[in-house]
Each structure stands twice: as structure tokens, then as C-alpha cells.
Chain A
């Protein structure tokens, strides 16, 4: 398992609230890795409040991908939509959650919404 992935979920758990997802309520399970090395995280979103656990079950949407693809999405060199069209990332359940999950992944610069 890549440290990038672990770091991301640890950081996401600490983020607490993600304003870009304030209209989202639902849970996304991430199954990252290949074969027996799959690691699972469950991300619960309640009006933008984000909680991360290592539960292996449940989720309104299950996102599956390999470590390399997930790393490149985290780094911003790939995105979920392109990977989904390519068959490099899978989603079962509510597809809107997959699209919105892109918002969990910050790009090179993260400014969020500054209300000017």
C-alpha cells in the first residue's frame, strides 16, 4: 500500500468538514489495490462533514481501483472521470458520488472557496 494513499485518508479524516460537499449525504467505500492487498476505507459524508473509517463493508457507492491509478489521481495527474471512462476505476452504486468524490482530491494547489 502506498504511503500516499494512507496519508490521504488520514488527512481526510482530520479534515472534518469539506464545504465543497456540503450538499452531499452518503457514504463512499474505497477498495484500493490488487488481489489480496486490497485496502478498504469507508468515507461517510453528512452535509459535508467527513468521517473516515477502515470498515470493509457498506457504502452507497463503492469505488475500486489499483494503487497506481489512485496515486495519480491524488497527485492530480489523472482524474476520476478520465479513469472511469478508461476502465481504470470502477464505481458501483450511486454514480453521482463517484463524480463528487473527485472533490475530495485536491490538486496541486488547494484554495477552497474564499468568499472574497
Chain B
């Protein structure tokens, strides 16, 4: 399989090979995707029957790519008299310009052919090559080619048009072309996905596309400006902002405002957890993402008991999907609510957002939703009646087993590798519940003017903290257990989850140093970041999805947690490791990379099928910047308390937006961090 090229806008994206061709198969998930449906599964360009060979590919923008090609597919291409360029731009569907240049002395006559087709696969079926239950059709007309799929009243179609007009047939289109010497030929193509609704009328699922170029410039200009002595940080910062722009998703009801989708290619939709975590990471840079996330999640907050969707009143959604499987209820994603963390995190984000922006109006506006979320923790999530937050799916068929961020089947285990039964109460959920109550109490007292409710929330928070520090503390190991089982026993593996506990503030001061020591110790800290599961645990595997890999997003919240408890050096060490790793990925951190010790591999090993760009990995460098600079809103001002790794030199972050207007933050690297190996000057370097 040739290298894949991806370009995207919102939830429309194109995955092709490095020639620009699309030849989808169950093992090769290429195509034009929108609304969780593949609208094009074949798109192959030939000249005189010959496939093309790639000379180079330029990713001009996240939504734009140019392919430079020559006819012939040999390992050594012939001295071509022709060159072919394809410029592709994604908007609602895509536009493509095909240009053929004749470099010879003689005119040429060519047959240019584009084979096209669509299987209208649902994103959830792409890898399984599901048999379609409806009818596929193709229709070649004089001026256009249409592919379509109908199942009862469900109807999706793709329209292809081209200038100059080719001869369309049901498998594609053909041009007979004559090109004079030293001249070129150009064709402009347009591929438009169509969604039909009731009465077979076209419907919109999102606001119309905007002018992407001008809009991206404004997005970058509005973000704070970064100056740094450490050059790679510029690249990583810019990459993060651009990817974050690319991952924005505007639901139909948002009036064109965007929130972060979870990641390309499989998660270009609204996810409660991912949208919230990314909004938190991006708050100091683009606070408007948080506002949209809060509004849109509130508008879809659960209102009833629905076992199929794992919905409860007050619960914040997990995932929204638009494809065939959601429409026909083969999947519960309209929306699906099965997660246990987005609901308390919704309250956490609302409070943090107001602290930064001073937007009290939104906190007032969402008072009922915030109260409903807090009520959900007590009324619907305390499945064992012991005051902890538990999860267990009610949709046994298509619901999610693990409803925390580590959602793979084997992520929650005892030291010896055994898996606990259900329900489960993972530790970080208790931290989020604690933090949601503390923050809810602040909003109740200061904004909702309900001191009684504030006092009640504070009482519950204090009680939870006291019991948690007793029940989850693994005495012989001096850390917090990963979870609690139904018999009240500790699920006692050592994991990165303890870092989130610092972030939430649920950890007793007296226990914080031991937790920090574990996070930075050889079993958890790889040299790049904190492993999801510690070396030596039964299920530890350095390339296990949630059982040994390092997740940049996880590390960014752990660093925030370490700063919260005053561990500046440790937070700087994690920032140094992750930002150093980012350089190996040209500024774009993957979802996860291997948990191998840094001195063993010397470079971070990307997790095989990691999703990239992924919103919360994109947000990780932003949160690490915040953490290193020690940015913290205090009343109407922004406190800066920098603790940078020594190799970073000077950082200036100029024009940080917030309730203070715009302010600048400065820091100089003074914290010595350790790097076990160095192939190049890294953040541990001397200055």
C-alpha cells in the first residue's frame, strides 16, 4: 500500500495514495468521506491506459494537496515527455484540477481516463466490507455522473462534473485530448456528496462551507504569538494551531460556530470527552472552542432513560454519528451517551472557561444543565450506592464496555492481569466528580447565587475526598488503585490515571509526593512521557493501546496536575519529553507512541494504527505551554509562574486572550531535566 495522503475540512476528508488515486478495499480504507459515509471508493487517473507515478506530493494546506506525477509505474520512470499535476482541495466534497503538460517537440494525442465509483460504505463497516442492505446505482448523463445508494427512505449520492466535458459512462469518464508542443491541458472536476431526507429532498447536516484560506489566516492571527529560542517549538505550535483549525466541526444547530472533533480519520464528529479535553487544552489560545463545546453538548444533554443509547437525564453525550448504521439503529450513535467522564468534565470545563474569559452569561445560561450534570453523578452514576461514580453499559450489544478514556477491553486490570467485573469505578472518575463539585460550588456561590447548594456540593466533595484517599490508597505501593471492584476491593495496577488525580485535586497533600515519585519513576516514566500502565504489571505491553503506550494528551493533563501540587520540575520534565517527541513527528504528535524506554529506542515509536491528527494530541503542546509558563487566572488577572526546561531558553507568549483583555507571558528555561540519550541537541541541552 502506497503512503496515504489525507486532506480534510470539518467531517469531510479524502484519503488517497500518494498519486492521488483512490482504490478502496477492506484493508485499504481510502476514499472521500463525509457524514460517516464513503462517497467515493474509486478514483483512478490514467493516461493512455497507464497509471501514473509520483514524483512529489505537496501538502499545501490541511485542506489542499498537490500531486506531481509522470506516466508509468516502473521503479525507474522513463524520460517522460509528459508531466501530470493534480491539485485537490476539500470543502463540501472536493475540487480537483488535472493538468497535463507536453514537454516534447511534437503534439500528442492522449486518452485521459478517470475511473470512478462509490460503495457508500458506512464508516463502521469500512473495515468489514459489509454487504449493503439497499441498492447501489450509477447514472451517466450528458453533463454529469451520479453514484447513489438507497435503502428505504435513506438516500445518499455523489455527483461528479468536469470541465471540459468528458464522455461519462457508469464507471467514470474519458477525454480525448490533443496537446501542442510545450503546451498544457487542464480539466476541472467537482465531486459533491449529497444527503437526501424526507420526501427525497436534499438536506443539510452542517452550515455551508466557508472560505478556508482567509479563515485560516485569521484563525492563526487571532491566536497568541509565540517566540522561543528553541526553534522546534515554533513548528510544533504552528502545527497544533493549524491541525486544531482542521479538526473543527460545526454541527448544524451551532449557527456556524465550531467545536473540536476527535480525530482523523475515524473520529471526525462530536465526542463529549474529546471535545471537552481539547477545549480545556486550548482555552488560553482559542477560548471560543470551549463556548461552542459547552453549548452544543448542553443542547444534546440526556433527558430520559434510554437503554439502547445508554442515556440518562443529565448525562453528556459520548458520540454522535450520521451514517447508515446510526440512521437504522444498528449503532446507538444518535447520539450515544455511554461514557462516565464527560458529564463531570462538562462542569469542570464550564468553570474553567469562566475563570479564563469572565463569560458569566454562559454560566448563567447553562445553570440547569450544569446542575443536571452534577445531579447525574449522584442519581444515575452511583450504581453501587456507595458514593462513588461507577459505569456499566445497559446496551450489551453495541454499547461500550469501558466508559472511561481508556476504553479498550483490557485497559482496567489488577496487578496480576485479571480483569474486574462490572460495574467498575476507575479512580480518575472519582477525581473528576470531586473537581466538578468543587467547581460547581464556586459557580453556585458566585454566579448562581445559591449558597446552600454550594455548601451541599462542598460537603459532598470533602466527603468523597476523605473516603477516596482511604479506599483507593494502595498502602504497600503508596499509590492510588486504578479502580474499585464491586466487592469494594482495589483493582491495584499502577497506571497513569494517578496523574489525573493530581489534576483534579482529590489527592491529600500528604500523599502527593509519593504519587509524583511514581509518575516520574522508571516503571511509569519512559523518558518521553508517562506510560498508561506501569512496567511490571501483568498486562503491561509497550505497544498495548492503553496498557503501556504513552499518550501525549494524558501526559499534558498529568503535567498540569503536577504543577497544581507544586511539582514544577517534574511538570517541566514531562513537557520536555513530549515536546522533544513532537519534533520527531514534525510537530504533529500522534495519538500514542510506544512505551519503550527512551534510551532503548532513542526515538519515539508511533503506535501502529494511531489516529492522526487527533484533537487532544494536537492540544497537548498547547496545554504543556500553559503548564510550563504556569499560567493561572486569578480574579481578573493572569498569573505567570514559569518553570521551563533549561534547553528551552526563552519563551514569550504574546497576546493571551482572557478576561484581562490580552496579556503577554515570559519565561526562561532554568529547570534541569534529564534526558537518557541524545542524538541531537534536545531540551536537556545546555545553553
Contacts and interface: CB of A to CB of B under 8 A. Distances in A.
Interface string B359-374: 0000001001001101
Contacts of A115: 371, 375, 453
A107 B304 contact: yes
B299 interface: yes
A1 B329 CA distance: 26
B304 A114 contact: no
Contacts of B252: 95-96, 99
Interface in A65-116: 65, 76, 78-79, 81-82, 84-91, 95-96, 99-100, 102-103, 106-116
Give the bracket for the number of chain A residues in contact with chain B. Answer: 35 or more
A37 interface: no
A86 B335 contact: no
Contacts of B327: 82, 85-86
Nearest to B323: A85
A82 B306 contact: no
Give the bracket for the number of chain B residues in contact with chain A. Answer: 35 or more
A99 B297 CA distance: 12
Interface string B287-320: 0000000000001100111100101011000000
A16 interface: no
Nearest to A106: B304
Nearest to A92: B201
Interface in B306-365: 306, 309, 311, 313-314, 322-323, 326-329, 334-335, 365
A112 B334 CA distance: 20
B118 to A, nearest CB: 18
Contacts, number: 105
Contact of B303 (A20, A65, A84, A91): A20
A110 B304 contact: yes
A82 B154 CA distance: 11
Contact of A87 (B197, B329, B374, B453): B197
A76 B153 contact: no
Residue among B153, B199, B303, B368 with the highest chain A CB neighbour number at 10 A: B303
B96 to A, nearest CB: 28
Given A19-B368, A107-B306, A116 B198 contact: no
A116 B153 contact: no
Residue among B155, B199, B304 with the highest chain A CB neighbour number at 10 A: B304
Contacts of A89: 198
Given A20-B303, A95-B253, A107-B306, A86 B378 contact: no
Contacts of A22: 368
A85 B201 contact: no
A64 interface: yes
Given A82-B327, A107-B303, 12 more contacts: A19-B368, A78-B329, A79-B334, A82-B334, A84-B203, A85-B154, A86-B327, A87-B198, A91-B198, A113-B313, A116-B379, A116-B453
Interface of B: 152-155, 196-201, 203-204, 252-253, 299-300, 303-306, 309, 311, 313-314, 322-323, 326-329, 334-335, 365, 368, 371-372, 374-375, 378-379, 453, 456
6 contacts: A85-B327, A87-B200, A88-B153, A106-B303, A108-B304, A111-B305
10 interchain residue pairs of minimum CB distance? A90-B198, A107-B304, A87-B153, A85-B327, A96-B253, A86-B327, A81-B334, A82-B334, A109-B305, A116-B375
